Amino acid sequence: MKSDKKMRGLLVKLAQQEGFKGKAEQTALIQTHGKLGVSRVILLGLGARVKFTPEVLRLALGRGIKAANRLRAKTAVIQVPGVRELDASLQAIVEGAVLGSYRYDKWRTTNRDEKSAPRVDKVQLLLPDGVKKDKSMDATVAIAKAIGDAACFARDLVNEPAGTMTPTILAEQAKAMAKDAGLGLHVFDRKKIEELKMGMFLGVARGSVEEPKFIHLSYTPADPAHAKRAPVALVGKAITFDSGGLSLKPSEGMLEMKTDMAGSAAVLGAMKVIAKLKPPFPVHGFMGACENMPSGNAYRLGDVLVSRLGKTVEITNTDAEGRLVLGDVLAYANELKPAAIIDLATLTGACIVALGPWVAGAFGEDDQLMWSVLEAARASGEEVWRLPLTDTLKDVLKSEIADMKNAGDRNGGSITAAHFLKEFVGDTPWVHLDIAGPSNVSKEKGYMSRGGTGFGVRTLVEYIRRRTAELETAVDEPAES
């Protein structure tokens, strides 16, 4: 280690005295006493080599940047470890640094000294011995920074109080982002939503004084041939506040319900990066934004709502509202005849019970698309686990007065919710990601801060990157004679 040589073995000696053994999640701060070009060295444990992944590096860099910010450092010099897959490591380092530096303090007026204190605003990367910088590394660093910034953008949206992140404000955020990124945008108001016959969406929105908004973002390739390809549709749940409606949540359960639009935040963040990637196929982002509130005009238990597809739905729980809005939006997205639909939603507490707070559940019957999404999640460092769409639970959605109910019993709640959504995508390849757990966390971990995490941005971007590579490889391969 160059740094240790310059300090004549003192760095390793001091680390040993501090009990630093390089274990995962270990951090040690060492004073250099002027023997290096930096005043302090932060050692980050990466754990056993056999368990090393880019995500381990990403989490470590998050811890490191947080430690540097606590020291009020303005510049961080990062030694890139000599590991295989250097591009993946560079991406993880940059993403970890960007995500680790995030802090949501918009509404804090106390501790002004802390808020205005110097923070890391410059990062230098030191490549391993024998490795020379090239243009591909610059491209990797640039896209990693774009992904990190997009996830932080999504975090801001999720962390914003519901009173200042209404459907209208969310639509304004989408408009500003679309203009900056060069994306197409349509925002439909209540009248247009009525014309689209989205009866489930309108039913949920009915109880709030806030106007619903249907947001449609679009990326279209410049090449006319590519523009004609089947698109990918990304759908995000956008309930900007969920009181539970007349099936009112308890106060404790309602406190975090400003985060019930985390799926839409992930789609918005991903579209921001997709505009830079310029994939050779269209990509659309859809969000049905509204509040779920109790009032004299709110939809009631026992009501029957008519969906865009004409399916009728008996309401047995007004707190199972996300699937109603998503159903109408999925039906609309499906009319574009997409090659794939991926939706993200903070849909069920049952998924948190099943998988805990750090892992999202994945549902779908198209094995090829499911594998692609799971591989994208694994590569991006976001944990996603496939759960079954077993037909044995489908019957709990049968209604005696309508085509189906919007909710069954507590058992298998995340599975029955996925079954409800499947009714609105037909045979189109589709994956539903229930991100109720990892979209918002209560404690810090690596690059994670308390609150919104931006979960899903990295998975969606990685999926689009991999699909782009597959299409480009298929075009480059010579045709069989």
Q: Give, for all 481 residues of the chain, the pLDDT tens digit.
A: 566 566 666 777 878 888 888 898 899 998 887 777 788 899 999 999 889 999 999 999 999 999 999 999 999 999 998 877 899 999 999 999 999 999 999 998 876 556 667 789 899 999 988 888 899 999 999 999 999 999 999 999 999 999 999 999 999 999 999 999 999 999 999 999 999 999 999 999 999 999 999 999 999 999 999 999 999 999 999 999 999 999 999 999 999 999 999 999 999 999 999 999 999 999 999 999 999 999 999 999 999 999 999 999 999 999 999 999 999 999 999 999 999 999 999 999 999 999 999 999 999 999 999 999 999 999 999 999 999 999 999 999 999 999 999 999 889 999 999 999 999 999 999 999 999 999 999 999 999 999 999 999 999 999 999 999 999 887 665 555 4
Tokens 């639909």: give the residue.
Answer: 341
Per-residue pLDDT, 385: 98
Secondary structure of the chain in the HEC alphabet? CHHHHHCCCHHHHHHHHCCCCCCCCCEEEEECCCCCCCCEEEEECCCCHHHCCHHHHHHHHHHHHHHHHHCCCCEEEEECCCCCCHHHHHHHHHHHHHHHCCCCCCCCCCCHHHHHCCCCCEEEEECCCCCCCCHHHHHHHHHHHHHHHHHHHHHHHHHCCHHHCCHHHHHHHHHHHHHHHCCEEEEECHHHHHHCCCHHHHHHHCCCCCCCEEEEEEECCCCHHHHCCCCEEEEEEEEEEECCCCCCCCHHHHCCHHHCCHHHHHHHHHHHHHHHHCCCCCEEEEEEEEEECCCCCCCCCCCEEECCCCCEEECCCCCCCHHHHHHHHHHHHHCCCCCEEEEEECCCHHHHHHHCCCCEEEECCCHHHHHHHHHHHHHHCCCEEECCCCHHHHHHHCCCCCCEECCCCCCCHHHHHHHHHHCCCCCCCEEEEECCCCCEECCCECCECCEECCCCHHHHHHHHHHHHHHHHHHHHCCCCC
Sign of the torsion formed by the C-alpha atoms of 180, 181, 186 and 187: negative
pTM for the full predicted model? 0.95
Which active-site residues does the annotation give? 249, 323
Tokens 């971990």: give the residue.
Answer: 445
Q: Which residues in 383-402 are b (16+ Cβ under 10 Å) and which e?
A: bbeebebeeebbebbeeeeb
Q: What angle do CA 175, 152, 163 make, to 5 degrees?
A: 60
Domains and CATH numbers, the chain: 2-133 (3.40.220.10), 160-473 (3.40.630.10)
Q: In the numeric block, which tokens belong to residue 326?
A: 């998503």
Per-residue pLDDT, 481: 43
Counted residue by residue, the chain has a size of 481
Per-residue pLDDT, 16: 84
Per-residue pLDDT, 114: 61
